[in-house]
A and B are shown apart, each in its own frame.
Chain A
Amino acid sequence: MSKSRILIGILLGIAAGLLYGWILHPVELVDTTPDTLQESYRMDYVVMVADAYSLDQDLEQAVIRLAALGPHPPDEQVIAAINYGIEHDLSQVDLESLNALAVQLRSLPSSIEVQSP
């Protein structure tokens, strides 16, 4: 009888623990990197990089900034942002900025390697 009580207690406890750990008091992440951002923030990050590039025309700086979003090639990241933008009705101005950056990134040698900041 007491074994079944223990089992019931464990099951209830697990449920309570999961409720507490996932919902009531989930892990708070700090000191994260841009590659862990939610997709919408990551895509917006690429838009901002494209905006910055349209101002300074510094392609190397743009590549460095995109490297913070993960190991994917920078041009693929921008293309992904364009596709995301089309799906989510991003403005034409943003798409133009992304497109201009993508065009320039495509002209880079594929072997370029950049360390994130």
Chain B
Amino acid sequence: MNRRELISLLLGLILGAAAGVMYSWVINPLSYNETTPASLRQVYREEYFLLTALSYAKTGELPRAQERLATFAEMDISSELGRLAQLSLSEDQPVAEARALAQLAAALSGFSAPVPTAVTATPTSQPTERAALTPLPSSTTAPNATRTPTATPGAPFVLLSSDTICRPDLMEPLLMVYVEDAFGDPVPGVEVRVLWDSGQDHFYTGLKPELGPGYGDFAMTPGVVYQVELVDGEYPVSSLETGVCTDDLDQPYAGSIELIFQQPSP
């Protein structure tokens, strides 16, 4: 092959490669209807996460939830779910959504999240019109047991301890709430109400899975007296104020309050 032929071959290669790439990227790229959830636009991705959490809340099938989220391997899913839960609360979305997101976040973090509880329990409609509608398999005489959310068994949560926490690294004093079941395991998705003279707010445990599935907190304002109660609790905890702490230079600063609630043993 002489020089002229080699140049012709190379020229052809370049033209052909350009045409091939143009065809495969622009004219006829891989099918646009074979995507995975990982490519979804942000708003749909959040909806996908929410649906995964709601489905988990209904079925309690963690492996299935993990399978659904497997395409998001590069993401910190637990943190994202926690963020969405907080967003849901701030936007006054249904409580069940925030709770489901928190529970799934806790479960994915490796904590032994309890069976989804019943805040959202709603009797499912009976498929009375099934025969007229769907070709369900004939073996319907013994349907699989549907997980019906039930209330967490056991007595209401009671205050186990209340302590002042001096942590100068915190930007602001916190009302730190830990909720445990009768066995000492953290419980996510518990609603905590905070009331003070001029207002009230609420949050849920498990929205910060990196701090534990049974943990939730609320920023305190020094000088304000708070009352805290768990929706599933027995008695409110009153007269809570920021603690008095001193740093290494003997300068005072507002300390946080740590409350631990636990279910009494059955």
Contacts and interface: CB of A to CB of B under 8 A. Distances in A.
Contacts of A45: 48, 51
A14 B143 contact: no
B12 A13 contact: yes
Contact of A5 (B9, B35, B126, B127): B9
A57 B140 CA distance: 23
A35 to B, nearest CB: 8
B20 A9 contact: no
Interface in B112-145: 120, 122, 124-130, 133-137, 140, 143-144
B178 to A, nearest CB: 27
B133 A106 contact: yes
Interface residues of B, number: 68
The interface residues of chain B, by DSSP majority, are classed as helix
Contacts of B103: none
A100 B94 contact: no
- Interface footprint category on A: 35 or more
Contact of A31 (B5, B22, B39, B136): B39
Given A26-B24, A32-B40, A55-B122, A10 B5 contact: no
B29 to A, nearest CB: 4
Q: Which of A28, A93, A104, A106 has the most CB of B within 10 A?
A: A93
B234 interface: no
A45 to B, nearest CB: 7
Interface string A1-41: 11101111111111111111110001111111111111001
A48 B68 CA distance: 10
Contact of B143 (A1, A93, A117): A93
A13 to B, nearest CB: 2
A100 B38 CA distance: 29
A37 B37 contact: yes
Given A17-B22, A48-B54, A26 B13 contact: no
Interface string B15-39: 1111111111100011011111101
A86 interface: yes
B127 A103 contact: yes
Given A26-B29, A93-B146, A18 B23 contact: yes
A92 interface: yes
A56 B22 contact: no
5 contacts: A30-B39, A36-B32, A37-B40, A49-B51, A96-B127
